[in-house]
Amino acid sequence: MKKTIYSAVFLFALTISFSSCYTYTFSVGEGAQTGVMVKEKNHYFIAGLAQGKQSDPNQMAGGAKDYNVTIKHTFVDGLLNAITWGIYTPTTTIVQK
């Protein structure tokens, strides 16, 4: 019984620690004001060594002076990375105006 509880606690801690490693957030100006969100994918290949199409947060903001940008690996991004063995490694950019 104790071994099961320790294993569950370890897996929970491991899961929480991984989620913060793949998220980068920054604010431009005063930060988000209206709550409108725009999402786009960034395409990387061979574990990020080669770059494909990348999103432009300034263009995604549509001329707004105040917004937040978050770049992260979503669950789907990680799943695609695992399925392709690192050949295709996408990330998601979220701009909140």
Q: Does residue 89 register a pLDDT over 80?
A: yes
- Is residue 72 within 8 Å of residue 65, measured between CB atoms? no
Look at residue 93 in the predicted model and tell me its pLDDT. Answer: 92
| pLDDT bracket for residue 19 (50, 70, 90) | low
**pTM over 0.75, yes/no:** no
Residue 20 has pLDDT above 60, yes or no: no
Give the residue-averaged pLDDT of 27-54: 85
* Residue 80: count of CB within 10 angstroms of its CB: 16
DSSP string, 31-62: --SS--EEEEEE-EETTTTEE-----HHHHTT
pLDDT of residue 48 exceeding 60, the answer is yes
